[in-house]
């Protein structure tokens, strides 16, 4: 019995040792295989991850660069040098500030149908109003536009006393800051063009006011309109010289087109032989409103791209 117990204990210790050895051998094999497999899996997955990540980063970088370029094109104007190419002293960069403007229109009605709006506009023109159909989400009939809200509200009150319903319609033109690189002469030419555009609104409104209040004759009114047209023509000719070597610039081309459109609208007034003050007043008002609407469209174009 004693011998049997001793033998049994020795056998148990031997089996335990064998199990421990086998365990450590298996652990070693496991880590060896796991390391090799892990490296193999890593080598297989990494190129796939890189192939997915790199194009995304490239697109993102390119898109950022494109956005910055577009922003520069929108608000930066570089004109060619009219002097020697190596004469860098003749070119400067200056920021031109175009002030924001707000206009108050007298709206007689807003319609879903252009035909209905035009019918009301025609009636309004026969009574001396602008009768301008302004198109946004509706067809709005505008009788007149004022620079001061007080003037617009005074007219609305007058119309109300005549049983004519009307309301204010605000037209906002944002301000613009643009960097221009050119000779000082060209920079001054462009700056004075923007100044003229804003000043002519005040002059046109004053002509309309004086004509309607019998403080100005038709002949004098037409002469003053002719002066405005000649000033616009001089600026348009100047911009044509600039744009001859600066094709495709949104700011310059749009500004020139705006001036040319204004001249085409003023020509019929200057060349008219109508002696009816009511008809002339209506025509000047219509042109005045159109000049403001087109100016806003141009400013929105260069600010929004």
What is the domain partition of the chain in residue ranges? 1-78, 79-99+175-304, 101-169
Q: What beta strand segments (E) does the chain contain?
A: 76-78, 91-98, 101-111, 132-135, 139-146, 167-173, 176-183
Residue 267: predicted pLDDT? 95
For the stretch 243-289, pLDDT in tens is 766 656 788 899 999 999 999 999 999 998 888 999 999 999 999 99
Q: Give the model's confidence band at 18: pLDDT under 50 very low, under 70 low, under 90 confident, else very high.
A: low
For the stretch 85-105, pLDDT in tens is 444 448 889 999 999 999 999
**CATH code assigned to 79-99+175-304:** 1.20.120
Residue 181: predicted pLDDT? 87
Provide the pairing of β-strand 76-78 with 176-183: parallel
Of residues 173 and 23, more confidence is placed in: 173
Please, which residues bridge with residue 97 across strands? 177
For the stretch 156-168, pLDDT in tens is 999 999 898 999 9
Q: Quick one: average pLDDT of 120-136?
A: 95
Residues in Cβ contact with 109 at an 8 Å cutoff, skipping those fewer than 6 apart = 117, 120, 140, 141
In the chain, DSSP finds a helix count (H) and a strand count (E) of 7, 7
Q: Quick one: average pLDDT of 291-296?
A: 96
Given CATH 3.40.50.2300, say whether it is the number of domain 101-169: no
Q: What is the mean pLDDT of the chain?
A: 78
* Rounded Cα–Cα distance for residues 153 and 201 (Å): 19
Residue 58 confidence (pLDDT) above 90: no
Q: Tell me whether residue 44 is exposed, middle or buried, using C-beta atoms within 10 angstroms of its C-beta: 0 to 12, 13 to 18, 19 or more.
A: exposed
Q: Give the model's confidence band at 182: pLDDT under 50 very low, under 70 low, under 90 confident, else very high.
A: confident
Percent of the chain residues topping a pLDDT of 70: 69
Residue 76: predicted pLDDT? 57
Q: Quick one: average pLDDT of 5-33?
A: 53
Q: Give the model's confidence band at 12: pLDDT under 50 very low, under 70 low, under 90 confident, else very high.
A: low
Residue 74 confidence (pLDDT) above 80: no
Residue 154: predicted pLDDT? 93
For the stretch 189-205, pLDDT in tens is 999 999 999 999 999 99
Q: Quick one: average pLDDT of 219-223?
A: 95
* Rounded Cα–Cα distance for residues 207 and 213 (Å): 10
- What 3-state class would DSSP assign to 86? coil
Residue 206: predicted pLDDT? 96
Residue 40: predicted pLDDT? 32
For the stretch 21-46, pLDDT in tens is 565 555 455 444 434 333 332 332 22
Of residues 154 and 62, more confidence is placed in: 154
């Amino acid at each position: 019995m004693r011998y049997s117990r001793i033998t049994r204990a020795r056998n148990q210790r031997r089996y335990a040792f064998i199990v421990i050895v086998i365990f450590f051998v298996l652990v070693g094999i496991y880590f060896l295989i796991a390391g090799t497999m892990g490296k193999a899996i890593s080598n297989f997955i990494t190129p796939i991850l890189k192939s997915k990540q790199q194009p995304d980063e490239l697109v993102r970088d390119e898109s950022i660069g494109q956005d910055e370029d577009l922003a520069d094109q929108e608000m930066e104007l570089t004109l060619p040098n009219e002097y020697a190419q190596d004469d860098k002293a003749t070119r400067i960069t200056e920021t031109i500030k175009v002030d924001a403007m707000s206009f108050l229109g007298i709206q007689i009605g807003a319609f879903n149908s252009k035909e209905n709006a035009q019918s009301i506009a025609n009636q309004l023109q026969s009574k001396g109003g602008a009768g301008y159909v302004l198109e946004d989400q509706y067809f709005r009939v505008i009788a007149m536009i004022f620079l001061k809200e007080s003037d617009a509200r005074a007219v609305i009150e007058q119309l109300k006393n005549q049983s004519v319903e009307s309301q204010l319609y605000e037209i906002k033109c944002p301000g613009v800051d643009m960097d221009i690189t050119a000779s000082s002469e060209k920079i001054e030419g462009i700056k004075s063009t923007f100044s003229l555009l804003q000043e002519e609104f005040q002059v046109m409104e004053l002509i309309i006011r004086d004509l309607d209040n019998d403080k100005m004759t038709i002949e004098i009114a037409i002469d003053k309109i002719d002066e405005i047209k000649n000033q616009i023509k001089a600026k348009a000719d100047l911009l044509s010289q600039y744009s001859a070597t600066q094709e495709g610039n949104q700011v310059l081309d749009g500004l020139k087109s705006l001036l040319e459109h204004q001249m085409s609208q003023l020509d019929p007034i200057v060349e008219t032989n109508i002696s009816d003050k009511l008809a002339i007043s209506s025509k000047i008002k219509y042109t005045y409103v159109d000049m403001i609407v087109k100016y806003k469209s141009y400013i929105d174009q260069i600010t929004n791209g």
